[in-house]
Structure 1
Amino acid sequence: MAVADVLFTGGRIFTGAGLPLAGHAVAVIGDRISAIVPDTEARDLVGPATEVVDLDGALLSPGFQDAHIHPVAGGMELLQCNLAGSVDAADSVARVKAYAAANPAEAWILGGGWSMDHFPGGAPSRALLDDIDRPVLLLSRDHHSTWVNTAAIRLAGIDASTPNPADGWIEREADGHPAGTFHEGAGDLFNDVRPPHSDDLAFRGLLAAQDELIALGITGWQDAMVGTASIIADPIEAYRRAIEEGRLLVHVNGAQWWERDGGLEQVERMTARRDALAAEVPAERLTITTTKIMVDGVAENQTAAMLSPYKDAHGHVTHNSGLSFVDPALLRGAVTALDAAGMQVHFHALGDRAVREALDAVEAARAANGPSDGRHHLAHLQVVDEAEVPRFAQADAVANLQALWATHEPQLDELTLPFLREGAEQRHYPFGDLVRAGVKLAAGSDWPVSSADPMDAIHVAVNRSFPGSGAEPLGGEGQCLDLATAMAAYTSGTAYVNHREHDTGWIREGYLANLVVLSPDPFAVPATEIHRSTVLSTWIEGRPAYLASDTAEEAA
């Protein structure tokens, strides 16, 4: 056997599925894993120039891959007015005012990250921001609601007579005047007056995001929104520039945004763009072979498409069952056409009716086109009717989990569950049911909607509660995942979705040495302590891309 450039020894190895392998070492030559050998043979792979990495009981895992993330938007928010760390409404307002004071030259105050559960009814008012002398526009942490001040409303020409758009609605005061929060497509009413996204800001945002994500052990992702989109800058040019400058270290599959009010003509445009980009950039760095279709909204603002109507604040059943952003018949036709064109479909499907409509569309495509390698996947899956669970495997559809959300927390307990039908809590994020039905899993974060840390999400997937929570597991213990299954979803599962399972997502000979070292070994601690496992180092193509020790030295 050839001498290794790098040898990892002294810890267990999670290969991408099942329980960790003990008593073995992993050798790397160049950018590839060259051997996995018993510890007794490891010394034969050590030469004068070999870097021996003593894991000292830490776990070696394939690098994490995020199946649903918005890196450029997240990075831009890091560089703009960032409210992600706010603890309450007063803190949010104080941060906006501090940012405005520190950036007097900015014509608009832009950013996001505010939490709906910090404000009554999940809807902050314009008055809270009216002390600021410029227009303010801030996206909620889930990017489904927009908070603005009076100056922004006036510039946009919006008043009491402005109707709600078909794909959203405006929070209003008693006289009908906009109150300051615009949900879903209503946020697009500011598109003509807000400043355009800066290409340079998007590029700097991508690089900032890449640093953040690599430090969390993430070595690849699916960008869930590329192409034309109003609330997030199109990241394609940022990726292209990063590739040209040799600064994109990870591998990315981009999901092209399906315009809700468009038709099947989008299929030809998307495939042409896919093919043009493939001729320009290396596929191991960037592909755009996926289409993102947003089937519905979110439950907190009652735009998630449900099989049963929402209740009002008094517990009375309303006539609102949420929004289907794409007509179900058009959705079936679109998915069939995309599948035939070799495009993968990435669905935002949050409510149980949206899940049904998405699965109907995948089944229609399978019936029309026969089996394909589309690897269509449904993201979010907040409420899934029991009847839909076996349909995933039958349609060969992947469940794309945002596991961090599968727990009792204020936004769920205060703004969602009280307004849903009886028994809906038991159908929330039914991960266990999906596994028992033989459904393929992938996993992602939806960052910057929520933390991008895979270990935080894996902790919740296993416990169905956040660290230190005294609440019962959301949906019952039967929906908890075992640790190996949760880890696999975030590694080999997402590699499969991204069509990269041939060289990433696993620790196997010949695979890229995209690796993460985790301490303490999450398999060696109680389930309630999984969150303590953090990244010591991240390796991309055989080279260290992040070392926690370097960060600690810089902070000292």
Structure 2
Amino acid sequence: MASEILFTGGAVFTGSGEPSSGVAVAVSAGRIDAVVPEAEAGSFVGADTRIVDLAGALLSPGFQDAHIHPISGGVESLQCDLTQSRDAADAVRRIASYAAANPDEPWILGGGWSMDHFPGGAPLRGLIDAVVPDRPVLLMSRDHHSSWANTAAITLAGIDAATPDPADGRIEREASGAAAGTFHEGAGDLFAAVKPEASAELIYRGLLRAQEDLIALGITGWQDAWVGADGPGAGTIEAYERALAEGTLRVHVVGAQWWERDRGLEQLAEKIAHRDARLASGTAERFELGTVKVMVDGVAENHTASMLEPYRDAHGHDTHNHGISFIDAQTLREAVRQIDAAGMQVHFHALGDRAVRDALDAVAGARAANGASDGRHHLAHLQVVAEADAGRFASVDAVANLQMLWATHEEQLDTLTLPFLQASAAARQYPFGDLARGGARLAAGSDWPVSTADPLAAIHVGVTRQGGDPAAEPLGGAHQRLTLAAALAAYTSGSAYVNHRDHDTGSIREGYLANLVVIEPNPFELDPAELHRARVRETWIDGVAVYERTE
């Protein structure tokens, strides 16, 4: 019987290992009919079969992003967007331009500023005051771990020299003790009582904007690393459900429900109820809520990532600061045990080596208490992993969720992070090679809008450990590089496994959904230094071409 679509004329990456040559992929009714030698492909061709000539390009399973914030990224792109700022002056210029173009907005909101554009990674309120003195302005940093505010916003929030640092954050201060303009981690929540929340319509528009952009990058499914019914994640679940009802959600999504660190174990019942309601809806295969996101620590550039050894000061001397553990180790273990017992997955933010150890200990404790489960718990970011812990992922059955794009020397890392870490931590940045050799199952995500969502850009760095400069020293040494096959598998079959969608996505095999991406030139035929040339030509979801590059 003839198929509806036949892909031929290029190599096929099936989801693991090296790509297959000389094969064709037949598709009908949104699923893969067969993967056959091209010599046999004629039996799948009829009068109405669409022949897709790969012309030497690579056919791969669609990418899946295992750690992304699409709604916040989409919303911010519709607000004051600083992601393209070249330096501090350019960021200020963009703020002034946005304010002038939107005179009726009571608050200027958005984000995307880079810490390395400002001395010490901390922009000052006076920079915004000079261009927007009359309206409150609050802008998230690119990594969403710091906020930049002007005097009007600080005053409206009632923040002054007497305002203490919250337990989970820090206020940058002037010599007088007054807020200087930058608020790290939980200190940004000091604006929550006065800052307007995004409207349901803006959140929905942000989702659709993000989906359009992500599909163009070959992404056919993702795990949203922050959804919720209230608090900072308010409106996100409703936006996905509206998209389902209106038929506009094209991808499949796992929503990771935010664990509120200022609450206790009682919140788990609410998350189970949200999970169960989605399962009962009949549309959980498109959007489900079986994951809980637990943020264990902060980030290294503002010295809030939780480290085994203390940070150093600007003179290279040890401080007393080991970062912030947002959840103490004992509470974390009990939370993970209960989440696992409820049949839910834990998605950890674990960036420093102490946070990674605490998370692995918690997973090990859940295994000991509950026995084996299909939780597929995963740790994201993994900037510093103690050598003794790199091999524990396999033994406790935890997945390493990699943000490959960050594993290279760049300004923010080299000026705000590495000089303040102990030598042992500085040498063990993003130890992907060690994790792979230790038997860890790998998945991949972007953390967009923290950085680009482009999987091919991330894979380039994962394979080379270099950014745009092929002569640069590979971050952490060449032994931390991944093979191209391993990096591509992490972004396809690996993330499908994390998302509990490996039964019908993430691989090219008979019966699987025809969620596919065409990449040209074939990255397996490029020198590693040239991987940045590979681009998505087409994206297919359920056997439908949803994106075709026209340039």
| TM-score of the superposed pair, with normalisation by structure 2 | 0.99
CA distance in 1, matches of 2:163, 2:508: 56
Q: Is residue 256 of structure 2 the alignment partner of residue 255 of structure 1?
A: yes
Superposed CA offset, 1:313-369 (max 9, x none): 121111100000001100000000000000100000000000000001000000000
Aligned letter for 1:204? R
Q: 1: distance between equivalents of 2:373 and 2:280?
A: 23
Q: Answer with 494-503 or 35-44: which moved more.
A: 35-44
CA-to-aligned-CA distance 1:48-87 (integer Å, 9 cap, x gap): 1111000000000000000000000000011010000101
Match of 2:34 in 1: 35
1:83 and 2:44 matched: no
- One-letter amino acid matched to 1:85: Q
- Whether 2:300 is the aligned partner of 1:284: answer no
Deviations 1:367-410 (A, max 9, x none): 00000000000000000000111111110000000000000001
Which amino acid in 2 is paired with 1:306?
Answer: M
Letter in 1 for 2:24: A
Match of 2:52 in 1: 53
Q: What is the alpha-carbon distance in structure 2 between the residues aligned to residue 320 and residue 425 of structure 1? A: 16
Q: Conserved in 1, the CA contact under 8 Å of 2:58 and 2:521?
A: yes
Question: Residue 225 of structure 1 contacts residue 234 of structure 1 at CA under 8 Å; is this kept in 2?
Answer: no
Residue 140 of structure 2 is matched in structure 1 by 139
Is 1:294 the counterpart of 2:295? The answer is yes
Consecutive aligned runs of 4 or more in structure 1 exceeding 2 Å deviation: 228-234, 467-470
Instruction: Mark the CA change 1:482 to 1:425 in structure 2 (over 3 Å): closer, same or farther.
Output: same
Distance 1:46 1:470 in 2: 48
Choose 266-275 or 335-344, whichever is displaced more.
266-275
Q: Secondary structure at the match of 1:427?
A: coil
Which residue is 2:402 aligned to?
Answer: 401
Structure 1 contact 72–233 (Cα < 8 Å) conserved: no
2:245 aligned residue? 244
Aligned twin of 2:211: 210
Q: Find out whether 1:450 has 2:434 as its counterpart.
A: no
DSSP 3-state at the match of 2:346: strand
Which deviates further from its counterpart, 451-460 or 124-133?
124-133
Residue 118 (structure 1) aligned with residue 117 (structure 2): yes
- 1:191, 1:230 within 8 Å by CA — same for their partners in 2? no
The Cα offsets for residues 278-333 of structure 1, whole Å up to 9 and x where unpaired, read as 22251221001000000000000000000000111121111100000001100000
SS at match of 1:254: strand
Contact 1:228 1:257 in 2 (8 A): no
Q: What aligned pairs does 1:375-414 form with structure 2 within 5 A after superposition?
A: 375-414=376-415
- CA separation of 1:300/1:233 partners in 2, compared to 1, >3 Å: closer, same or farther? farther
Distance 1:349 1:175 in 2: 35
Task: In structure 2, give the amino acid aligned to 1:438.
Answer: G
Please give the alpha-carbon distance, in whole angstroms, between the structure 1 residues aligned to 2:417 and 2:266.
36
Secondary structure of the 2:357 match is helix
* Superposition deviation, residue 262 in structure 1: 1.2
Instruction: Return the alpha-carbon distance in structure 1 between the equivalents of residues 348 and 58 of structure 2.
Output: 33
Question: How many aligned residue pairs are there?
Answer: 549
- Cα deviation, residue 470, structure 1: 2.7
CA contact (8 A) 1:73 1:232 kept: no
User: Which residue matches 1:174?
Assistant: 175
Asked if the contact 2:68–2:223 (Cα under 8 Å) also holds between the matched residues in 1, the reply is yes
Question: Does the 8 Å CA contact 1:297/1:350 hold for their aligned counterparts?
Answer: yes
CA-based RMSD of the aligned residues comes to 0.9
Q: Partners in 2 of 1:4 and 1:421 — Cα distance?
A: 59
SS in 2 for 1:300: helix
The alpha carbon displacement at 1:196 in A equals 1.3
> Is this contact kept in 2: 1:306–1:352, CA < 8 A?
yes
What TM-score do the two structures reach when normalised by structure 1? 0.98
Match of 2:300, SS state, is coil
Specify every segment of 5 or more residues in structure 2 that has no aligned partner in the other structure, as ranges. none
Structure 1 unmatched runs, 5+: none
Matched with 2:267 is 266
Distance 1:116 1:231, change over 3 A: farther
Q: Give, in angstroms, the shift of residue 261 of structure 1.
A: 1.4
Q: Who is 1:525 aligned against?
A: 526
Counterpart Cα distance in 2 of 1:13 and 1:512: 15
- Aligned residue for 2:478? 477
Measured at CA, do residues 117 and 461 of structure 1 come closer, stay the same or move farther in structure 2, by a change above 3 Å? same
- 1:365 corresponding residue in structure 2: 366
Rounded Cα–Cα distance in structure 1 between residues aligned with 2:459 and 2:58? 15
Distance 1:234 1:224, change over 3 A: farther
Partners of 1:288 and 1:228 in 2: CA distance: 11
One-letter amino acid of the structure 2 residue matched with residue 80 of structure 1 = Q
